[in-house]
Amino acid sequence: MSGNSVALNDVYLGLQVGQKVILSGERSDLGGVVMSEVMTLAAVTFSDGRTTLSFQRGLDGSYLRSTVTINANVALATHGETVQETLGSGNASEPHLALVLRQKPLTYVSSNAPSGSDSTLNLRVNDLSWQEVPSFFGHGSHERVFVTHAADDGTTSVLFGDGVNGARPSTGLDNIRATYRKGIGKVGNVDANQLSLLLTRPPGVRSVANPLAASGGADPEALDSIRRNAPLTMMTLDRIVSLEDYEDFTRAFAGIAKAMAVPWIWSGHARGVFITIAGPDGADIDRDSDSFANLLAAIRNAGAPNVPLEVQSYRRAFFELAATIIVKPEFQIDVVVAAVEQALRASFSFDARAFGQPVILSEVMAAMQAVPGVLAVDLTRLRRIDNGFRRQELLLFSDALSAAAPSMEDDGTLLAAELLTLDPRPVQLTGVMP
Protein backbone atom coordinates (compact mmCIF):
# COMPACT_ATOMS: atom_id res chain seq x y z
CA MET A 1 0.00 0.00 0.00
CA SER A 2 1.47 3.33 -1.09
CA GLY A 3 0.58 6.52 -2.88
CA ASN A 4 -2.21 8.93 -2.00
CA SER A 5 -5.28 6.66 -2.02
CA VAL A 6 -6.50 3.37 -0.62
CA ALA A 7 -9.49 1.17 -1.50
CA LEU A 8 -11.46 -0.45 1.35
CA ASN A 9 -13.45 -3.67 0.93
CA ASP A 10 -16.66 -2.27 2.39
CA VAL A 11 -18.78 0.85 2.59
CA TYR A 12 -17.82 3.15 5.46
CA LEU A 13 -20.22 6.03 6.01
CA GLY A 14 -19.56 9.13 8.08
CA LEU A 15 -16.09 9.93 6.77
CA GLN A 16 -15.73 13.55 5.69
CA VAL A 17 -13.35 15.55 3.51
CA GLY A 18 -10.78 17.30 5.72
CA GLN A 19 -11.02 14.67 8.45
CA LYS A 20 -7.77 13.31 9.86
CA VAL A 21 -7.12 9.57 10.03
CA ILE A 22 -4.12 7.61 11.24
CA LEU A 23 -2.76 4.82 9.07
CA SER A 24 -0.54 2.22 10.76
CA GLY A 25 1.19 -0.82 9.35
CA GLU A 26 4.40 -2.73 8.72
CA ARG A 27 6.72 -1.18 6.16
CA SER A 28 7.15 -3.33 3.07
CA ASP A 29 10.68 -2.03 2.59
CA LEU A 30 11.74 -2.29 6.25
CA GLY A 31 11.00 -5.74 7.58
CA GLY A 32 9.43 -5.74 11.05
CA VAL A 33 9.25 -1.94 11.29
CA VAL A 34 5.76 -0.67 12.17
CA MET A 35 5.04 3.00 11.47
CA SER A 36 2.07 5.35 11.60
CA GLU A 37 1.16 8.43 9.57
CA VAL A 38 -1.47 11.10 10.05
CA MET A 39 -3.34 11.67 6.80
CA THR A 40 -6.03 14.17 5.83
CA LEU A 41 -8.90 13.01 3.63
CA ALA A 42 -9.15 14.86 0.32
CA ALA A 43 -12.03 12.79 -1.06
CA VAL A 44 -14.26 9.85 -0.08
CA THR A 45 -15.91 7.94 -2.94
CA PHE A 46 -18.10 4.83 -3.11
CA SER A 47 -18.26 2.33 -5.95
CA ASP A 48 -19.31 -1.33 -6.23
CA GLY A 49 -19.70 -1.68 -2.47
CA ARG A 50 -16.26 -0.29 -1.75
CA THR A 51 -14.91 2.91 -0.26
CA THR A 52 -11.92 4.72 -1.73
CA LEU A 53 -10.07 7.19 0.47
CA SER A 54 -7.95 9.84 -1.21
CA PHE A 55 -5.40 11.75 0.87
CA GLN A 56 -4.16 15.31 0.49
CA ARG A 57 -0.62 13.97 0.06
CA GLY A 58 1.05 10.67 -0.66
CA LEU A 59 2.11 8.26 2.05
CA ASP A 60 5.71 8.64 3.17
CA GLY A 61 6.20 4.86 3.24
CA SER A 62 5.04 1.67 1.55
CA TYR A 63 3.11 -0.78 3.75
CA LEU A 64 2.08 -4.46 3.69
CA ARG A 65 -1.67 -4.32 3.06
CA SER A 66 -2.43 -7.23 5.41
CA THR A 67 -0.94 -5.32 8.35
CA VAL A 68 -2.55 -1.92 7.72
CA THR A 69 -5.20 -0.42 9.98
CA ILE A 70 -6.84 2.98 9.53
CA ASN A 71 -8.28 4.71 12.57
CA ALA A 72 -10.76 7.54 12.07
CA ASN A 73 -11.52 8.20 15.76
CA VAL A 74 -8.66 10.70 15.99
CA ALA A 75 -8.56 13.45 18.60
CA LEU A 76 -5.97 16.14 19.24
CA ALA A 77 -4.39 15.81 22.68
CA THR A 78 -2.22 18.37 24.43
CA HIS A 79 -0.08 18.20 27.52
CA GLY A 80 -1.82 19.17 30.73
CA GLU A 81 -4.75 18.43 33.00
CA THR A 82 -7.88 20.58 33.04
CA VAL A 83 -8.48 22.44 36.30
CA GLN A 84 -11.57 24.36 37.38
CA GLU A 85 -11.32 26.54 40.45
CA THR A 86 -12.80 29.53 42.22
CA LEU A 87 -10.09 32.11 41.89
CA GLY A 88 -11.42 34.61 44.42
CA SER A 89 -13.77 37.50 45.08
CA GLY A 90 -14.07 40.65 43.00
CA ASN A 91 -13.64 44.09 44.56
CA ALA A 92 -14.67 47.05 42.43
CA SER A 93 -13.04 49.47 44.89
CA GLU A 94 -9.55 48.03 44.41
CA PRO A 95 -7.46 48.97 41.36
CA HIS A 96 -5.30 46.28 39.78
CA LEU A 97 -6.77 43.41 41.80
CA ALA A 98 -4.31 40.50 41.73
CA LEU A 99 -5.15 36.82 42.23
CA VAL A 100 -2.96 33.71 41.93
CA LEU A 101 -3.77 30.41 40.22
CA ARG A 102 -3.56 27.59 42.75
CA GLN A 103 -2.19 24.99 40.30
CA LYS A 104 1.05 25.29 38.34
CA PRO A 105 2.45 25.52 35.79
CA LEU A 106 -0.13 27.00 33.42
CA THR A 107 -0.24 25.17 30.09
CA TYR A 108 0.39 27.05 26.85
CA VAL A 109 -0.44 25.47 23.48
CA SER A 110 0.83 26.13 19.98
CA SER A 111 -1.01 28.77 17.97
CA ASN A 112 -0.54 31.06 14.98
CA ALA A 113 -0.16 34.11 17.23
CA PRO A 114 3.09 36.07 16.69
CA SER A 115 4.47 34.57 19.90
CA GLY A 116 3.63 31.04 18.75
CA SER A 117 1.57 30.10 21.80
CA ASP A 118 -1.70 30.81 23.57
CA SER A 119 -2.60 30.42 27.21
CA THR A 120 -5.24 27.84 28.15
CA LEU A 121 -6.63 30.13 30.86
CA ASN A 122 -10.32 31.02 30.57
CA LEU A 123 -11.65 33.40 33.20
CA ARG A 124 -15.20 34.50 34.09
CA VAL A 125 -16.46 37.14 36.51
CA ASN A 126 -20.15 36.75 37.40
CA ASP A 127 -20.29 34.19 34.56
CA LEU A 128 -19.14 36.80 32.02
CA SER A 129 -16.05 35.96 30.00
CA TRP A 130 -12.95 38.16 30.32
CA GLN A 131 -10.19 38.27 27.73
CA GLU A 132 -6.45 37.96 28.35
CA VAL A 133 -4.33 40.69 26.74
CA PRO A 134 -0.57 41.37 26.69
CA SER A 135 -0.99 44.71 28.51
CA PHE A 136 -3.66 47.23 29.53
CA PHE A 137 -2.31 49.85 27.14
CA GLY A 138 -5.02 51.08 24.78
CA HIS A 139 -7.89 49.35 26.60
CA GLY A 140 -10.81 51.37 27.93
CA SER A 141 -12.35 51.54 31.39
CA HIS A 142 -15.20 49.16 30.51
CA GLU A 143 -13.25 46.50 28.65
CA ARG A 144 -13.26 43.13 30.44
CA VAL A 145 -9.57 42.30 30.07
CA PHE A 146 -6.79 40.96 32.30
CA VAL A 147 -3.07 40.24 32.09
CA THR A 148 -1.01 37.43 33.56
CA HIS A 149 2.45 37.34 35.10
CA ALA A 150 4.54 34.18 35.54
CA ALA A 151 6.85 33.95 38.53
CA ASP A 152 10.17 32.10 38.63
CA ASP A 153 8.59 29.29 40.67
CA GLY A 154 5.99 28.60 37.96
CA THR A 155 3.01 30.27 39.63
CA THR A 156 0.78 32.53 37.52
CA SER A 157 -0.82 35.74 38.78
CA VAL A 158 -3.92 37.30 37.23
CA LEU A 159 -4.06 41.12 37.25
CA PHE A 160 -7.17 43.18 36.52
CA GLY A 161 -7.45 46.79 35.37
CA ASP A 162 -7.71 49.98 37.41
CA GLY A 163 -10.95 51.31 35.94
CA VAL A 164 -9.09 53.61 33.55
CA ASN A 165 -7.09 51.10 31.53
CA GLY A 166 -9.18 47.96 31.77
CA ALA A 167 -12.28 47.38 33.87
CA ARG A 168 -12.32 46.45 37.55
CA PRO A 169 -14.08 43.17 38.41
CA SER A 170 -17.47 43.52 40.07
CA THR A 171 -17.67 43.14 43.83
CA GLY A 172 -18.92 39.72 44.86
CA LEU A 173 -18.22 36.64 46.92
CA ASP A 174 -16.17 34.00 45.07
CA ASN A 175 -17.48 35.37 41.78
CA ILE A 176 -14.20 34.98 39.84
CA ARG A 177 -13.76 31.49 38.37
CA ALA A 178 -11.00 30.08 36.20
CA THR A 179 -10.70 27.09 33.91
CA TYR A 180 -7.24 26.16 32.62
CA ARG A 181 -4.82 23.35 32.03
CA LYS A 182 -1.76 22.67 34.14
CA GLY A 183 1.43 20.95 33.03
CA ILE A 184 4.04 21.90 30.47
CA GLY A 185 7.49 20.96 29.24
CA LYS A 186 9.49 18.47 27.23
CA VAL A 187 8.26 15.65 29.48
CA GLY A 188 5.05 15.87 27.44
CA ASN A 189 6.87 14.61 24.34
CA VAL A 190 5.95 11.00 25.09
CA ASP A 191 6.92 8.11 22.84
CA ALA A 192 4.48 6.38 20.51
CA ASN A 193 2.03 4.01 22.26
CA GLN A 194 3.05 5.31 25.68
CA LEU A 195 -0.43 6.62 26.52
CA SER A 196 -3.05 3.97 27.25
CA LEU A 197 -5.26 5.32 30.07
CA LEU A 198 -7.96 7.99 30.17
CA LEU A 199 -8.70 10.00 33.30
CA THR A 200 -12.37 9.56 32.46
CA ARG A 201 -13.89 7.03 30.07
CA PRO A 202 -16.93 8.25 28.11
CA PRO A 203 -19.53 5.58 27.28
CA GLY A 204 -18.51 3.52 24.28
CA VAL A 205 -14.76 4.16 24.54
CA ARG A 206 -12.97 0.82 24.75
CA SER A 207 -9.32 1.88 24.62
CA VAL A 208 -7.02 4.76 23.71
CA ALA A 209 -3.54 4.89 22.20
CA ASN A 210 -1.11 7.36 20.65
CA PRO A 211 0.35 5.64 17.56
CA LEU A 212 2.59 8.66 16.95
CA ALA A 213 5.09 10.20 19.33
CA ALA A 214 4.13 13.55 20.81
CA SER A 215 6.08 16.61 19.74
CA GLY A 216 6.22 20.36 20.27
CA GLY A 217 6.59 20.32 24.04
CA ALA A 218 9.15 22.76 25.40
CA ASP A 219 10.27 23.84 28.85
CA PRO A 220 9.92 27.48 29.94
CA GLU A 221 12.68 29.59 28.48
CA ALA A 222 15.94 29.72 30.38
CA LEU A 223 17.43 33.11 31.19
CA ASP A 224 20.07 32.84 28.46
CA SER A 225 17.38 32.08 25.89
CA ILE A 226 15.25 34.99 27.11
CA ARG A 227 18.22 37.34 26.73
CA ARG A 228 18.72 36.18 23.13
CA ASN A 229 15.06 36.23 22.11
CA ALA A 230 13.71 39.33 23.87
CA PRO A 231 15.38 41.74 21.41
CA LEU A 232 14.04 39.75 18.43
CA THR A 233 10.40 40.54 19.20
CA MET A 234 11.26 44.22 19.56
CA MET A 235 13.08 44.28 16.23
CA THR A 236 10.22 42.69 14.27
CA LEU A 237 7.27 44.19 16.22
CA ASP A 238 5.12 41.31 14.96
CA ARG A 239 5.66 42.21 11.30
CA ILE A 240 7.98 40.87 8.62
CA VAL A 241 9.55 43.12 6.00
CA SER A 242 13.19 42.14 5.43
CA LEU A 243 14.92 38.79 5.10
CA GLU A 244 16.35 39.31 8.59
CA ASP A 245 12.81 39.77 9.90
CA TYR A 246 11.88 36.31 8.62
CA GLU A 247 14.72 34.79 10.62
CA ASP A 248 14.15 36.85 13.78
CA PHE A 249 10.37 36.25 13.75
CA THR A 250 10.85 32.51 13.32
CA ARG A 251 13.54 32.29 16.00
CA ALA A 252 11.28 34.04 18.53
CA PHE A 253 8.33 31.72 17.75
CA ALA A 254 7.45 29.29 20.53
CA GLY A 255 8.89 25.82 19.94
CA ILE A 256 11.63 27.00 17.56
CA ALA A 257 15.19 26.84 18.88
CA LYS A 258 17.15 27.81 15.75
CA ALA A 259 16.28 29.41 12.43
CA MET A 260 18.07 30.53 9.28
CA ALA A 261 16.43 32.45 6.43
CA VAL A 262 17.99 32.74 2.97
CA PRO A 263 16.65 33.97 -0.39
CA TRP A 264 16.08 31.79 -3.41
CA ILE A 265 14.63 32.32 -6.88
CA TRP A 266 11.29 30.60 -7.40
CA SER A 267 10.15 29.74 -10.97
CA GLY A 268 12.61 32.26 -12.36
CA HIS A 269 10.47 35.34 -11.71
CA ALA A 270 9.71 35.72 -7.98
CA ARG A 271 12.22 35.82 -5.16
CA GLY A 272 11.21 33.51 -2.32
CA VAL A 273 12.36 32.91 1.22
CA PHE A 274 13.72 29.56 2.43
CA ILE A 275 13.79 29.03 6.22
CA THR A 276 15.58 26.20 8.02
CA ILE A 277 14.27 25.46 11.51
CA ALA A 278 15.00 23.21 14.48
CA GLY A 279 13.10 22.48 17.69
CA PRO A 280 14.41 22.44 21.27
CA ASP A 281 17.41 20.13 21.80
CA GLY A 282 17.60 19.53 18.07
CA ALA A 283 14.14 18.05 17.64
CA ASP A 284 12.65 17.91 14.15
CA ILE A 285 9.54 20.00 13.45
CA ASP A 286 7.23 17.62 11.60
CA ARG A 287 5.46 19.11 8.59
CA ASP A 288 2.18 17.58 9.74
CA SER A 289 2.42 19.00 13.27
CA ASP A 290 0.40 21.91 14.61
CA SER A 291 3.62 23.73 15.43
CA PHE A 292 4.65 23.67 11.77
CA ALA A 293 1.23 24.74 10.49
CA ASN A 294 0.96 27.53 13.07
CA LEU A 295 4.43 28.83 12.21
CA LEU A 296 3.56 29.05 8.52
CA ALA A 297 0.27 30.80 9.29
CA ALA A 298 1.96 33.29 11.63
CA ILE A 299 4.64 34.14 9.05
CA ARG A 300 1.97 34.64 6.39
CA ASN A 301 -0.04 36.90 8.68
CA ALA A 302 3.00 39.01 9.58
CA GLY A 303 4.63 39.20 6.16
CA ALA A 304 3.77 39.72 2.52
CA PRO A 305 1.30 36.98 1.57
CA ASN A 306 2.51 36.71 -2.05
CA VAL A 307 6.16 36.02 -1.25
CA PRO A 308 6.98 32.34 -2.00
CA LEU A 309 7.88 30.63 1.26
CA GLU A 310 9.46 27.28 2.04
CA VAL A 311 10.16 26.01 5.57
CA GLN A 312 12.06 22.81 6.31
CA SER A 313 13.47 21.10 9.35
CA TYR A 314 17.27 21.03 9.40
CA ARG A 315 19.54 18.17 8.35
CA ARG A 316 21.63 16.48 11.02
CA ALA A 317 25.34 15.93 10.38
CA PHE A 318 27.96 14.40 12.65
CA PHE A 319 31.71 14.23 12.86
CA GLU A 320 34.09 12.00 14.79
CA LEU A 321 37.61 12.40 16.05
CA ALA A 322 40.39 10.44 17.70
CA ALA A 323 43.17 11.91 19.79
CA THR A 324 45.90 11.12 22.27
CA ILE A 325 45.84 13.32 25.37
CA ILE A 326 49.16 13.92 27.13
CA VAL A 327 48.24 14.48 30.77
CA LYS A 328 50.29 16.46 33.26
CA PRO A 329 51.96 14.17 35.85
CA GLU A 330 50.05 15.59 38.83
CA PHE A 331 46.62 14.79 37.29
CA GLN A 332 44.71 11.51 36.95
CA ILE A 333 44.51 10.29 33.37
CA ASP A 334 40.91 9.00 33.46
CA VAL A 335 39.62 12.19 35.08
CA VAL A 336 41.28 14.43 32.51
CA VAL A 337 40.18 12.29 29.56
CA ALA A 338 36.58 12.37 30.81
CA ALA A 339 36.79 16.15 31.18
CA VAL A 340 38.12 16.49 27.63
CA GLU A 341 35.18 14.52 26.20
CA GLN A 342 32.76 16.62 28.25
CA ALA A 343 34.37 19.81 26.95
CA LEU A 344 34.11 18.57 23.36
CA ARG A 345 30.43 17.72 23.77
CA ALA A 346 29.71 21.14 25.24
CA SER A 347 31.61 22.95 22.47
CA PHE A 348 30.08 20.96 19.62
CA SER A 349 26.53 20.40 20.86
CA PHE A 350 23.28 21.47 19.23
CA ASP A 351 22.99 24.52 21.47
CA ALA A 352 26.54 25.66 20.74
CA ARG A 353 26.52 25.35 16.93
CA ALA A 354 24.81 27.23 14.12
CA PHE A 355 23.35 26.09 10.80
CA GLY A 356 26.05 25.75 8.17
CA GLN A 357 28.84 26.33 10.69
CA PRO A 358 32.00 24.33 9.85
CA VAL A 359 34.12 22.54 12.42
CA ILE A 360 37.60 24.05 12.39
CA LEU A 361 40.67 22.09 13.43
CA SER A 362 41.91 24.92 15.61
CA GLU A 363 38.69 25.15 17.64
CA VAL A 364 38.73 21.40 18.25
CA MET A 365 42.29 21.65 19.50
CA ALA A 366 41.49 24.70 21.62
CA ALA A 367 38.52 22.99 23.30
CA MET A 368 40.70 20.04 24.36
CA GLN A 369 43.76 22.11 25.25
CA ALA A 370 41.71 24.36 27.58
CA VAL A 371 40.88 21.46 29.94
CA PRO A 372 42.91 21.60 33.18
CA GLY A 373 45.54 18.86 33.26
CA VAL A 374 46.07 18.67 29.50
CA LEU A 375 49.73 19.11 28.60
CA ALA A 376 49.42 18.44 24.87
CA VAL A 377 47.07 16.93 22.30
CA ASP A 378 47.84 14.72 19.31
CA LEU A 379 44.75 14.75 17.07
CA THR A 380 44.95 11.71 14.79
CA ARG A 381 41.54 11.77 13.10
CA LEU A 382 38.87 14.33 12.26
CA ARG A 383 36.15 13.38 9.76
CA ARG A 384 32.45 13.58 8.99
CA ILE A 385 30.02 10.68 9.22
CA ASP A 386 27.24 10.76 6.63
CA ASN A 387 24.31 8.33 6.86
CA GLY A 388 26.38 6.07 9.09
CA PHE A 389 29.31 5.96 6.64
CA ARG A 390 32.59 7.77 6.97
CA ARG A 391 33.27 10.22 4.18
CA GLN A 392 36.19 8.73 2.22
CA GLU A 393 37.44 12.12 1.04
CA LEU A 394 38.03 13.12 4.66
CA LEU A 395 39.92 10.02 5.77
CA LEU A 396 43.08 12.07 5.52
CA PHE A 397 43.66 14.91 7.91
CA SER A 398 41.60 18.01 7.17
CA ASP A 399 41.79 21.54 8.53
CA ALA A 400 38.01 21.99 8.45
CA LEU A 401 34.83 19.96 8.10
CA SER A 402 32.14 21.78 6.17
CA ALA A 403 28.43 21.91 6.96
CA ALA A 404 26.08 22.59 4.06
CA ALA A 405 24.16 25.84 3.85
CA PRO A 406 20.60 25.86 2.45
CA SER A 407 20.76 25.06 -1.26
CA MET A 408 18.75 24.24 -4.36
CA GLU A 409 19.51 21.14 -6.41
CA ASP A 410 19.62 21.14 -10.20
CA ASP A 411 16.11 19.66 -10.29
CA GLY A 412 14.76 22.51 -8.14
CA THR A 413 14.67 20.53 -4.88
CA LEU A 414 15.41 22.65 -1.83
CA LEU A 415 17.74 21.24 0.83
CA ALA A 416 17.73 22.64 4.36
CA ALA A 417 20.91 23.68 6.14
CA GLU A 418 23.02 21.17 8.04
CA LEU A 419 23.96 21.38 11.70
CA LEU A 420 27.29 19.64 12.29
CA THR A 421 27.75 18.26 15.81
CA LEU A 422 29.93 15.69 17.56
CA ASP A 423 28.99 12.05 17.06
CA PRO A 424 26.93 10.93 20.12
CA ARG A 425 28.93 7.72 20.38
CA PRO A 426 31.95 7.69 22.74
CA VAL A 427 34.90 9.75 21.54
CA GLN A 428 38.10 7.80 20.89
CA LEU A 429 40.45 9.45 23.36
CA THR A 430 43.59 7.90 24.81
CA GLY A 431 45.34 9.40 27.83
CA VAL A 432 49.06 9.01 28.42
CA MET A 433 51.69 10.50 30.71
CA PRO A 434 54.60 12.50 29.22
Sequence spans of domains, the chain: 5-71, 81-182, 223-313, 315-432
Task: Sort strands 122-125 and 176-182 into parallel, antiparallel or unpaired.
Answer: antiparallel
Q: What is the mean pLDDT of each run of 10 residues along the chain (434 residues)?
A: 90 91 90 88 92 91 91 87 93 93 91 88 95 92 94 91 94 95 87 84 86 83 74 75 90 90 71 90 85 92 87 93 94 95 95 94 94 94 72 52 87 89 93 90
**Distance, CA of 254 to CA of 216 (rounded, Å):** 9
- pLDDT the model gives residue 394: 43
Indicate the CATH number for domain 81-182. Answer: 2.60.40
In DSSP terms, which residues pair with 125 in a beta bridge?
128, 176
Compute and round to an integer the Cα radius of gyration of the chain. Answer: 27
Q: Are 8 and 53 in contact (CB under 8 A)?
A: yes
Q: Are 377 and 361 in contact (CB under 8 A)?
A: no
Record the pTM.
0.77
| CATH architecture of residue range(s) 223-313 | 2-Layer Sandwich (3.30)
Q: Where are the beta strands (DSSP E) in 11-97?
A: 20-26, 34-47, 50-55, 69-71, 81-88
Task: Give the phi and the psi of residue 54 in degrees, each rounded to 5.
Answer: -110, 135
For residue 225, the number of C-alpha atoms closer than 13 Å in the C-beta half-sphere is 17
Nearest Cα residue to 349 out of 318, 312, 386, 315: 318
Sheet containing 20-26: which strands, arranged edge to edge? 5-8, 50-55, 34-47, 20-26, 69-71
AA letter at 34: V
Q: Are 194 and 117 in contact (CB under 8 A)?
A: no
Strand, helix or coil for residue 45: strand
Neighbours of 42 (CB within 10 A): 14
In DSSP terms, which residues pair with 383 in a beta bridge?
320
- pLDDT the model gives residue 266: 60
Q: Given 3-state DSSP classes, what are the helix, strand and coil percentages for the chain, each rounded to the nearest 5?
A: 15, 35, 50
- pLDDT the model gives residue 395: 40
Nearest Cα residue to 15 out of 25, 6, 24: 6
- pLDDT the model gives residue 83: 92
- pLDDT the model gives residue 15: 92
